[in-house]
A and B are shown apart, each in its own frame.
Chain A
Amino acid sequence: MERINSANELEALRKSILSSRDTNKPCITICSGSACHASGSKEVASRIEEEIANQGLSGTVDVRKTGCHGFCEKGPIIVIHPEKICYFQIKPEDVSEIVTETIIGKKIIERLLYTDPATNEKIVYESEIPFYKNQERLVFGSNGSIDPKNLDDYLAIGGYSALAKALFQMTPGQVVEEVKKSNLRGRGGGGFPAGSKWEGSRNAPGDIKYVIVNADEGDPGAYMDRSLLEGNPHSVLEGLTIGAYAVGSHEGYIYVRQEYPLAVENVTTAIKQAQEYGLLGKNILGSGFDFTVKVHMGAGAFVCGESTALMTALEGRAGEPRPKYIRSNVKGLWNRPSVLNNVETWSNVPLIINNGADWFTKLGTESSKGTKIFSVVGKINNTGLVEVPMGMTLRDIIYKIGGGIPGGKKFKAVQTGGPSGGCLPEELLDLQVGFDELTKAGSMMGSGGMIVLDEDTCMVDVARYFLEFLTDESCGKCVPCREGIRQMLQTLTKITQGKGKEGDIELLEELAETAREAALCALGKSAPNPFLSTLKYFRNEYEAHIKEKRCPALSCKELIAFYIDPKKCQACTTCARKCPSNAIIGGKNLIHMVDQEKCTKCGTCFEVCPPRFSAVKKISGEPVPDPIPEEARIIVRGGKKNE
Chain B
Amino acid sequence: MSDIVLQIDGVEVAAKEGMTVLEAAQKAGIYIPTLCHHEKLEPYGACRLCLVELESRGRSRLVVSCLYPVEKGLVVKTRSEKVDRVRKMILELLLSHAPDAFELQDLAKEYGADKYRFEKEPSFCVHCGLCVRYCAEVKKKEAIGFVNRGTKREISFIPEIASKECWNCKECFPLCPTEALQAAFVLAKALSFPSTEHAPAE
B90 interface residue per 8 A CB criterion: yes
Type the 1/0 row for A219-231, where 1 means its CB is closer than 8 Å to any CB of B. 0000000000000
Residue A517 CB within 8 A of the other chain = yes
Residue pair A478, B45 in contact (C-beta under 8 Å): yes
- Per-residue CB contact flags for chain A residues 519-548 toward chain B (1 = under 8 Å, else 0) read 110000000000000000000000000000
Q: Is the CB of A323 within 8 A of B94?
A: no
- In whole angstroms, what is the CA distance A323 to B64 when docked? 9
Q: Please state if A323 and B90 are interface contacts (CB–CB under 8 Å).
A: no
User: How many chain A residues touch the partner (CB < 8 A)?
Assistant: 31
CA distance A477 to B63 in the complex (A): 16
Are the C-beta atoms of A514 and B86 separated by less than 8 Å? yes
CA distance A484 to B129 in the complex (A): 18
The one of A474, A511, A514 in contact with B150, judged by C-beta atoms closer than 8 angstroms, is: A474
Chain A residues near B118: list those with CB within 8 A: 487
Would A323 and B150 be within 8 Å (CB), given that A514-B89, A518-B86 are in contact? Answer: no
Question: CB distance A323 to B44 under 8 Å?
Answer: yes
Measured CB to CB, the closest approach of chain B to A479, in angstroms, equals 5
* Distance, CA A474 to CA B47, complexed state (A): 15
Q: How far is the CB of A588 from chain B (nearest CB, A)?
A: 51
Contact check, A520 vs B89: say whether CB atoms are below 8 A apart: no
Residue of A nearest to B118 (CB): A487
Which among A474, A476, A520 has the greatest number of chain B C-beta atoms within 10 A? A476
Q: Is the CB of A518 within 8 A of B151?
A: no
CB atoms of A479 and B127 under 8 A apart:
yes
What is the CA–CA distance of A256 and B144 in the complex, to the nearest angstrom? Answer: 30
Tell me which residues from 72 to 114 in chain B have a Cβ below 8 Å from any Cβ of chain A. Answer: 82, 85-86, 89-90, 93-94, 96-97
List of B residues within 8 angstroms of A473 by Cβ? 149-150
Establish whether residues B93 and A484, one from each chain, have CB atoms under 8 Å apart when the complex forms.
Answer: yes
B-side contacts of A487, CB under 8 Å: 93, 118
- Determine the chain A residues whose CB is within 8 A of the CB of B169 once the complex forms: none
Overall SS of chain A's interface? helix
**Known interface pairs A323-B67, A324-B67, A325-B67; A486-B151 also in contact (CB < 8 Å):** yes
Q: Choose from B49, B68, B82, B151 the contact partner of A517 (Cβ within 8 Å).
A: B82
B14: interface (CB < 8 Å): no
Whether A483 is near chain B, meaning CB under 8 Å from some CB there, is yes
B48 in contact with A518 (CB, 8 Å): yes
Give Cα A359 to B48, complex, Å. 46
A520 to B67, CA, bound (A): 11
List residues 454-477 of chain A with CB under 8 A from any CB of chain B.
Answer: 471-477
User: Are B93 and A483 in contact (CB-based, < 8 A)?
Assistant: yes
Q: Which of A472, A478, A483, A514 has the most CB of B within 10 A?
A: A483
Interfacial residues of chain B within 113-163, with CB under 8 A of chain A in the complex: 118-119, 126-127, 129, 146, 148-153
**Which residues of B (29-63) have their CB < 8 Å from a CB of A?**
43-49, 51, 62-63
C-alpha gap A477/B128 in the complex (Å):
8
Residue in B closest to A326 when the chains form the complex, CB atoms: B69
Q: Is the pair B47, A479 in contact by a Cβ cutoff of 8 Å?
A: yes
How far is it, in angstroms, between the C-alpha of A65 and the C-alpha of B32 when the chains are bound? 62
On chain B, the residues within 8 Å of A484 by CB distance are: 89, 93
| Bound-complex Cα distance A428 to B86 (A) | 33
The CA of A513 and the CA of B84, in the complex, are separated in Å by: 13
| Cα–Cα, bound, A484→B149 (Å) | 15
Q: Cβ of A474 and Cβ of B82 under 8 Å apart? A: no
Give the CA-CA distance A446 to B22 in the complex, in Å: 34
Q: Is the CB of B151 within 8 A of A511?
A: no
Render A411-449 as a binary contact track against B, CB cut-off 8 A, 1 for contact.
000000000000000000000000000000000000000
Closest chain-B Cβ to A503's Cβ sits at a distance in Å of: 11
Q: Is the CB of A520 within 8 A of B45?
A: yes
Complex CA distance for A476 and B145, rounded to whole angstroms: 13
CA distance A518 to B129 in the complex (A): 18
Cβ-neighbour of B153 out of A326, A476, A480, A511 (below 8 A): A476
Chain B's closest residue to A473 (CB) is B150
Contacts of B43 in A (CB 8 A): 323
For the complex of A and B, 4 pairs with smallest distance between CB atoms? A323-B45, A476-B153, A483-B93, A474-B150
- Given A483-B94, A514-B90, 13 other A-B residues pairs in contact with their CB atoms under 8 A: A325-B69, A471-B151, A473-B150, A474-B150, A475-B149, A475-B150, A476-B153, A479-B46, A479-B93, A480-B89, A484-B93, A517-B51, A518-B86
13 A-B Cβ contacts within 8 A?
A318-B146, A325-B63, A325-B67, A474-B151, A475-B153, A477-B153, A479-B47, A479-B90, A479-B127, A480-B93, A483-B151, A484-B89, A520-B46
